[in-house]
Copies of this chain bind each other. A is one copy, B any other.
Amino acid sequence: MSKVVDNANQAVAQIKDGMTLMLGGFGLCGIPENSIQALVKLGVKNLTCISNNAGVDDFGIGLMLQTKQVKKMISSYVGENAEFERQLLSGELEVDLIPQGTLAERIRATGAGIPAFYTPAGFGTEVQQGKETRMFNGKNYILESAFNSDYALVKAWKGDTDGNLVFKGTARNFNPMMAMAGKITIAEVEELLEPGELNPNFIHVPGIFVNTIFKGTNYEKRIEQRTVTTK
């Protein structure tokens, strides 16, 4: 019962047209680069993608937008992508914009077996439309629900063959909750280790949540805003 596969193509092979995928990352930081490339190669269509952002024109989820594989994006911010804008304005692409904290908590709820919860974000705004509201201790909240996702595609720094994951820096972001939330979770890692090589006290995602793991290759890790201090 090994969780390990050789590469991204094997990992994503069972993903079908019309499925809902969660993809980790914030901007281009911590995105599952290898799995995205494999999805482009696989050519599955009509995907619903839950991801905080939608990549840029020629990287990240942007690659899947170019090939028109995405039917709907569920995100909190989608600003860096001209092809995205074109498809959105032409009606080819649906977009569901969700406050970032609500997005994170809805993903966490999915992985935690919590079908719905109350959050204050968006009360009195159009985010509230069609949703139940309720007051607790004098403050207004919106009822938000868990997602139904078929696959979660996440990127970790290190992982072991039991599926335990460790992240580095802010490449962590949405990846841990998404790993918990996928009906099937595929993790790509920069370093694939043997069980026992990670300290059990410092594992970010316990292996029970990870179905498939592989060592990714050729990480580009593109930077959107290279800001530096000059000496």
Contact = CB atoms under 8 A, between A and B. Distances in A.
A118 interface: yes
A116 interface: yes
Contacts of A113: 119-120
Contact of A117 (B114, B166, B202): B114
A21 interface: no
Nearest to A114: B117
Contact of A114 (B118, B166, B167, B169): B118
Contact of A136 (B137, B145, B202): B145
A64 B115 CA distance: 38
A26 to B, nearest CB: 16
Contacts of A137: 115
A201 B167 contact: yes
Contacts of A169: 201
Interface string A212-224: 0000000000000
Interface centre among A113, A119, A168 (most CB of B within 10 A): A113
A13 interface: no
A167 to B, nearest CB: 7
A156 to B, nearest CB: 12
Interface residues of A, number: 24
A141 to B, nearest CB: 6
Counting chain B CB atoms within 10 Å of each CB, the highest count among A136, A167, A168 belongs to A136
Contacts of A160: none
Contacts of A141: 115-116
Contacts of A192: none
Contacts of A134: 116
A158 to B, nearest CB: 11
Interface string A128-139: 000000101101
Contacts of A114: 105, 117-119
A4 interface: no
12 contacts: A105-B112, A105-B114, A109-B117, A113-B119, A114-B117, A114-B118, A114-B119, A115-B137, A115-B141, A116-B117, A116-B136, A172-B201
